[in-house]
Structure 1
């Protein structure tokens, strides 16, 4: 009788799963839903498209605030992808702000979207957004041959002995020339990449400025001559003109070349 009772107890404990206890149901692994977004950038001046790289934009940041919770959190996407989908976020009703950011911080924002409802295991597409960017900036440069007496004094007097200089400016992406007019001190100098104009020696204290340039990453090329030889000093730096009317301030160092006749 005791053996029969033990057998019955064993059968009840094991259930109907072939001799093993039934496994509990798996919990729902999805705590919320996702959001997806498409974005684009346009120039403030004329509404034409502009690339993330041209304005130095690295990321698009979503600032999400769940109305049922205190505070908020962010989701960050690479600007150049043009679209993104968040990881799962808790269900609820959200208000969302949008930021376009670069290496130095905020570039611009897009209008807030409010009352977005996130449901479990569902993706909620946001309305596409457009960032309007002031895609112009300025630059204020100096040129330095790193000689004690400066760029223009003679080599005998510890100067660089430079007698003339040429400057060109090309967009790094695509290589197009930027035919702007620079101010060398108070003297205008128009960029001509195909046939650069030679101007006199530019002293290291003389500002080279441009008040309004398309924001972008550029390669500037500077060639400096001495009396008996050309291209005795060179510079091929890359420079970034920032957006939002900000000014790039920088000194460009000239490197001596080993050309024939250079001192």
Structure 2
């Protein structure tokens, strides 16, 4: 058997011919390449959810503002080991996701969050919902959920009229009157009758917002405590008197936290320096 050594040019041409034949193994009858169809992204679907809050102490509905003005509802959809989340402001009591979730079957969980010391804290969790089917281009309404909360808190106040103290030898206040009002959206408005326990002895019954009673001078070192009251926004009205004159005042807004937490504040009283008889 004899072999012929191909010239260089013929060898290159033969290699190129083999390469062309191999590259055309997927060619159709028309002789071209089948590049396949371009991938088209599948449109996702959205979710909608409505919720309500029930105070476990009264078994009555409460507003989100009673919990916190920045309370949120956090929804997580879990799907085959992965998950997506959506967050809604609590106050509207309903929301539709901005996120579009890939089609599929999910389990949905909903939590009520409120900020505490700069961190989002879970204070209630709704019953999970399984078998939530997301369809392309559609909005799916989840079953409305109920969050059970403890809408009560504690109030601890101190009053400060001056560096030398509130009573004789200091601001010379002879007596105090105090009233407390709800300061939220309806129905969380109107007078909020409470009884303050005074650490220096006795109590003060703040049950009349239109004509509050006058008690003794409350020292700057004393604490005024309400052990339990509905959480939410309030406005307090304090008058420090010299005789019948309102010489010192405070009208601060307060927010009593939920979940049995305490609000502890020192309230500074402003002096009516231009009122005759107060100097």
Q: What is the TM-score of this pair, normalised by structure 2?
A: 0.77
- Structure 1 residue 68: Cα displacement: 4.3
Pairing partner for 2:100 from 88, 94, 100: 88
Q: Deviations over 1:62-119 (max 9, x none)?
A: 12222242xx332111111111111311222222221112232333221222232222
Distance (Å, rounded) in 1 between the aligned partners of 2:38 and 2:165: 77
Change in Cα spacing, 1:148 to 1:29, as seen in structure 2 (3 Å) is same
Q: Is 1:65 equivalent to 2:81 in the alignment?
A: no
Name the counterpart of 1:197. Answer: 213
Name the counterpart of 2:88. Answer: 77
Q: Is the 8 A contact 1:68 1:93 kept in 2?
A: no
Distance (Å, rounded) in 2 between the aligned partners of 1:37 and 1:198: 50
Distance (Å, rounded) in 1 between the aligned partners of 2:113 and 2:221: 34
Pairing partner for 1:177 from 180, 184, 191: 191
Aligned to 2:61, the other structure's residue is in SS state: coil
Q: Deviations over 1:23-51 (max 9, x none)?
A: xx997565321111111111112321111
Name the counterpart of 1:226. Answer: 242
Aligned to 1:194, the other structure's residue is in SS state: coil
Name the counterpart of 1:252. Answer: 267
Distance (Å, rounded) in 2 between the aligned partners of 1:217 and 1:225: 26
Q: What is the TM-score of this pair, normalised by structure 1?
A: 0.82
Distance (Å, rounded) in 2 between the aligned partners of 1:30 and 1:143: 63
Pairing partner for 1:33 from 22, 28, 45: 45
Name the counterpart of 2:34. Answer: none
Q: Is 1:55 equivalent to 2:67 in the alignment?
A: yes
Change in Cα spacing, 1:148 to 1:82, as seen in structure 2 (3 Å) is closer
Q: Is the 8 A contact 1:67 1:92 kept in 2?
A: no
Pairing partner for 1:243 from 254, 258, 265: 258
Distance (Å, rounded) in 2 between the aligned partners of 1:132 and 1:111: 11
Name the counterpart of 2:132. Answer: 116
Q: Is the 8 A contact 2:103 2:135 kept in 1?
A: yes
Number of aligned residue pairs: 232
Larger radius of gyration, structure 1 or 2? 2
Aligned to 1:46, the other structure's residue is in SS state: coil
Pairing partner for 2:155 from 112, 116, 139: 139
Instruction: Structure 2 unaligned segments of length 5 or more: list them.
Output: 1-36
Name the counterpart of 1:107. Answer: 123
